Amino acid sequence: MKRSCLLLAATITAMLLAACGGSRFAPSTSTSAPLAAKAHSSSSTYKLLYSFAGTPDGASPLAGLIAVHGKLYGTTLNGSKNYCSASCGSNDCYLGCGTVFSVDSSGKERVVYNFKGNFSSAQDGSWPFAGLAQFKGTLYGTTSGGGTGDGTVYTVTTSGKERVLYRFAGGTDAQDPEATLVVAKGTLYGTSVYGGGSGCGGAGCGTVFSVSAAGKESVLYSFAGGSDGARMYSGVTYFHGKLYGATLEGGSGCGSTGCGTIFELSLSGKKRVLYRFGGTSDGAFPNGLTAAGGVLYGTTEGGGARSSGTFFSITKSGKLQTLYSFQDIPDGNLPGANLLYLNGNFYSTTVGGGTTGVGTVFEISKTGSESVLYSFAGGNDGNAPQAPVVAFKGGFYSTTYKGGGTGCSSNGCGTIFSVTP
């Protein structure tokens, strides 16, 4: 079953409530430091750049931003002038098909493209969970729905000309892509939550796929569930000629779901599991990976010393070290986005935690020294950031899924913000 337009954090939180445990499988090796360094607060300058208004504007931005020609471009999961829900009937309805938007550093926002879903036989995309990737001067992205029903890969220009590049078919093909595409050796690579076969309850356990700029798609690997891994909500990272990524489920522990895995995949489709999370001090439910200095770094949404997620490093041989355990309020909780590596430190967001429990922007060193750069208050400033940050014009820019006002069922339709250390 696909994720709805409800907050992803609710889904993950429910998973975290399950008992996590179990042992790791070989060849995984781990060293852990439950609280490698104490968190400390840091004063930073926060700026609200834009508050989404719902329909016909965008709503519910889940993905991060990309800088192109002096502006930032991103996607909203909901909103747009095209409804994608039969329940829409009030002025406050925001369950549209999603948008592509641009915003400049002064906060001037523009809807670049409104997705149409499958209305009027358009077979357009709908519900873009993922952000945008730039390839040969064009923006590329995925939608989790639309097309023939199982999602699309699309291209869009900065002027708003959109074209569906590929429509997923489900089954042995990919289904429900929700992560940003990456470019490697002239080809786009992505992941899907479902598809790849009939495992994991019938819809498939997820895939890694490739697609060319001309729209030729191929499933590179289909996950088998269990110890192999399942459910690719995050994307892959191209590192030293291979793809590296994390499955949110599979492996061992954490009830019947598994606590997640980290894997290596050649461009020809040969896969190796590097690590299977156990759900205790080593973490559970990993996100995407970021390379720095010949090592991969990442976060988990659960596990750790306080069951609030972890920051870890892992080598290509599969040796994992837990460098920091998030501590919830007033520290972060549930780090759900990729890390940005800049000038020796990593930057990202947490969905929960902070002084009021509705999310943070944080900085963390390679050794696990963490600082909260900003704690969201949950009102006009934003609520529940689930996207990575991007460095732009001297600050870090990103989105929050909720907040920014009283629209969208009184939760706020989401925001664009900047934090300057």
Please report the pLDDT score of residue 32 as a whole number. Answer: 42
Q: What is the pLDDT of residue 82?
A: 76
**Dihedral pair phi/psi, residue 196, rounded to 5°:** 90, 0
* Residues with pLDDT less than 50, the chain: 1-40, 87, 89-92
Would you state the pLDDT for residue 121?
A: 56
Structural tokens at position 237: 């990272």
Which of 392, 364, 387, 390 minimizes the C-alpha distance to 376?
387
CB 301 within 8 Å of CB 335: yes
- What pLDDT, on the 0 to 100 scale, is given for residue 120? 54
Q: CB under 8 Å to 108, separation ≥6 — which residues?
A: none
Q: Which domains does the chain show, CATH number per domain?
A: 33-420 (2.120.10.30)
Please tell me the predicted confidence (pLDDT) of residue 12. 34
Q: What is the reported pTM?
A: 0.90
Question: What secondary structure does DSSP assign to 175-238, as a single string?
Answer: E---S--EEETTEEEEEESEESSS-TTTT-S-EEEEE-TT--EEEEEE--SGGG-B---S--EE
